[in-house]
């Protein structure tokens, strides 16, 4: 196999810790380099050909097996949490189980903007598996600030996800310098544009960011939850677990930040936020029509 666009590779200088796919190949000062997107981690990186190793089918299968186990464990924890939330909602709706009431629930609608079409499809599959109503839009990170306003007007979401790829480059500036990040400033501008449409933090709940994103700027811009407090990598599916928790939490309840973060694949080093209300609404009666 040869190094070409679409090839699955790992970086030798990082002990082949992450699986990437080659998105673009270019030459700089006579050195061939590849632009890499993490296969399961929302990281974008550059690497010279000499630092890349093509992974064969067996190596890829081993990586994917480990990845699948992590995802299954996270999904299992989320299901346990969801059932507890569901039981609490049922208890309240039936007046402490004193009445035989038929009720229905309206989980929060999600608008998910993603800079990576492959990640978007993975996220949409998980949303469907969990049962979260979602509209997915593939959009280049740099174009998100201009496109978010019309998209909010069109879909009128309860929850907004602004994500894709990001990375911090030490050579471009210090950790607190927004210019040292590949896409954090685009995410922050997108959050600010969204807040022009819906200023209230509980009327539109926003998650923003990707790997190593400038957490503080995203929160200041108006995000409820963001990455990455410790500038670490986050998993492609982390935004789904965060917004699913919000989507299924009753609007009368406040969500503890740790309750949101604990079932993600990354945890509190990569994800954080502020106290936020849920968006689930319960109604009754639920009538089963058999036309």
pLDDT tens, position by position, 20-63? 889 889 888 888 899 998 888 888 888 899 999 988 888 888 87
**For residue 207, what are the β-bridge partners?**
161, 225
- Taking Cα atoms as reference points, which of 258, 254, 257, 253 lies closest to residue 282? 253
Other CB atoms within a 10 A radius of the CB of residue 16 amount to 16
* Span 147-172, average pLDDT: 95
Q: Residue 86: what pLDDT? A: 64
> 241-262 b/e with 16+ CB inside 10 Å = b?
bbbbbbbbbbeeeebebeebbb
Q: Residue 174: what pLDDT? A: 92
* Span 260-288, average pLDDT: 84
pLDDT-derived band at 158, boundaries 50, 70, 90: very high
- Which segment, 39-48, 106-115, 258-267, 276-285, is predicted with the most confidence on average? 106-115
- Taking Cα atoms as reference points, which of 253, 255, 261, 256 lies closest to residue 281? 253
Q: Is the peptide bond before 267 cis (omega within 30 degrees of 0)?
A: no
Q: Residue 147: what pLDDT? A: 97
Say how far apart CA 168 and CA 84 lie, in whole Å.
Answer: 38
């Amino acid at each position: 196999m040869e190094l070409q666009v679409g090839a699955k590779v790992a970086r030798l200088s990082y002990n082949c810790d992450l699986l990437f796919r080659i998105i673009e190949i270019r030459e700089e000062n006579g050195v061939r380099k590849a632009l890499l997107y993490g296969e399961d981690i929302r990281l974008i990186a550059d690497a010279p050909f000499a630092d890349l190793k093509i992974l064969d089918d067996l190596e890829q299968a081993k990586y994917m097996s480990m990845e699948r186990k992590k995802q299954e464990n996270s999904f299992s924890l989320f299901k346990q949490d969801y059932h507890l939330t569901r039981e609490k909602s049922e208890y309240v709706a039936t007046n402490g189980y004193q009445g035989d009431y038929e009720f229905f629930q309206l989980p929060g609608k999600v608008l998910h903007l993603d800079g990576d079409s492959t990640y978007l499809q993975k996220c949409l599959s998980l949303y469907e598996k969990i049962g979260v109503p979602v509209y997915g839009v593939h959009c280049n990170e740099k174009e998100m600030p201009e496109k978010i306003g019309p998209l909010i007007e069109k879909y009128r979401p309860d929850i907004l996800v602004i994500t894709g790829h990001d990375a911090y480059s030490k050579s471009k500036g210090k950790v607190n310098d927004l210019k040292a990040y590949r896409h954090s400033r685009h995410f922050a501008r997108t959050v600010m544009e969204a807040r022009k449409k819906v200023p209230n933090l509980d009327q539109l709940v926003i998650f923003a960011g990707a790997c190593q994103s400038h957490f503080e700027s995203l929160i200041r811009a108006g995000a409820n939850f963001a990455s990455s407090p410790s500038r670490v990598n986050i998993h492609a599916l982390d935004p789904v677990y965060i917004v699913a928790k919000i989507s299924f939490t009753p609007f009368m309840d406040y969500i503890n930040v740790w309750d949101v973060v604990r079932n993600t694949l990354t945890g509190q080093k990569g994800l954080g936020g502020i106290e936020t209300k849920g968006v689930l609404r319960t109604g009754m009666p639920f009538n089963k029509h058999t036309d």
